[in-house]
Amino acid sequence: MDISGYKIIVTGGASGMGAATVRTYVGAGATVVSMDVSEEAGRTVVDSANEAGPGSATFVKVDISDKTSVDAAFDAAAAAMGGLDAVAHPAAIQRAGDAASVTVEDWDIMFAVDVRGTMLVNQAAYRLMAPQKRGSIINFGSISGLRSEPVAPAYSAAKGAVHSWTRTAAGAWGNDGVRVNAILPAIATPMYDTAIGRLDEAGRTAHFWQNEQSIALGQKYGDADRDLGPVMIFLASEASRFITGQLLPVDGGQASVR
């Protein structure tokens, strides 16, 4: 579980689970490059992590849906750090809607960022990791990719694609020592709290029964630093060296993946 001195890239590092992952890895002594499209917030997270130490972090702006942007950012990060040991990829977007009226625009941007972005990030990581015959890629799936999502059909489809891609990449890259797994988190973030705050009483009740009631460990979403952070260290480290192609719920028992 020791990742001190590891060289790690974290996407979506400006907020939520990405920001918590930056803090976790820096706190464990790693050298981190945080990437996000939101530059000001990303630099604020990096500055705070550096103050706490003992590792260090820098920020690079990137659009994960654009191959040129991803390849340039990853090449620069690996050159600056002197290599690449792990990539955590929580960066994603979400759009609400329903199956009958989801728009082409929402569908396309969801797949451009969440699916194409995952492919591009993973390919860039693999290209840098394969020559050294080791590395860990940690994608972010969702229970939404396992079940019906009446109010988020494009997000559900996109996360299902991330799950399938994760298994395929793991099978393809195992001989090169590159592991690919996906976290399925039920973790409270500021964005999640804001979304819940917009619901009326009926909406909050429906949300509880669809999402929180099935969380065996307390019927509430977890904390990003306390509950997700240690799992991110495990999957980045050599402690998980014989685990690949897995969908790992970090959700208090909300989902069951077999």
Q: Catalytic residues, which ones?
A: 155
C-alpha dihedral (7, 11, 15, 20), degrees to nearest 10: -40
What is the 3 state secondary structure string of 80-139? Answer: HHCCCCEEEECCCCCCCCCCCCCCHHHHHHHHHHHHHHHHHHHHHHHHHHHHHCCEEEEE
Which alpha helices (H) appear in 28-65, and where do they start and end? 39-52
- Cis bond leading into 54, ω under 30°? yes
